[in-house]
């Protein structure tokens, strides 16, 4: 069994490096890295002031970015979604990573077409949503 103090010390060191590199901006690794990857893959500019949306594109369209990881230690629901966040956005970008941080899903959903569960305010990513709004495969072809 690994020493907890050593693991936490290693985590702290990694966090410092990720903050310096710009991969992480707030200390929330999952959401920050999701924003970083979405901006990189979709050509978005992340907002510095963390206002009512996360990023903009070259045409001035506004994006809210939600991220989660999939795997045994995560719940099966989509990320929490505050519908007020979508009122000022044109698109919701959904980013999902596997346990080893590989990008498994990248969706660009028009804000007015976002599906969610009212109870718990969770984003719904169903087969139809995946089929219609998946941009990961398009991007992979372009690289």
Which tokens belong to 12?
Answer: 């702290």
Which distant-in-sequence residues (6+ apart) come within 8 Å of 4 by Cβ? none
Position 1 confidence tier, pLDDT thresholds 50, 70, 90: low
Q: pTM for the whole thing?
A: 0.83
How far lies 135's CA from each of 27, 41, 80, 124, in Å? 27, 9, 21, 17
pLDDT in tens, 3-41: 899 999 998 999 999 889 888 888 788 899 999 999 999
pLDDT of residue 52: 86
Question: What topology is assigned to 29-142 in CATH?
Answer: Trna Endonuclease; Chain: A, domain 1 (3.40.1350)
Domain ranges of the chain: 29-142
- The distance from CA 57 to its chain's CA centroid, rounded to whole angstroms, is 16
């Amino acid at each position: 069994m690994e020493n907890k103090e050593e693991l936490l010390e290693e985590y702290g060191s990694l966090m410092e490096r990720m903050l310096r590199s710009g991969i992480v901006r707030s200390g929330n690794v999952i959401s920050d890295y999701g924003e970083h990857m979405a901006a990189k893959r979709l050509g978005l500019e992340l907002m510095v002031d963390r206002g009512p949306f996360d990023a903009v594109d070259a045409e001035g369209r506004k994006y809210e970015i939600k991220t989660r990881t999939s795997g045994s230690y995560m719940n099966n629901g989509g990320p929490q979604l505050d519908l007020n966040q979508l009122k000022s956005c044109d698109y919701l970008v959904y980013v999902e990573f596997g346990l080893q941080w590989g990008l498994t899903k990248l969706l660009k959903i028009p804000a007015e077409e976002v599906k969610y569960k009212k109870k718990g305010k969770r984003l719904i990513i169903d087969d139809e949503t995946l089929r219609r709004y998946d941009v990961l495969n398009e991007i992979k072809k372009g690289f």
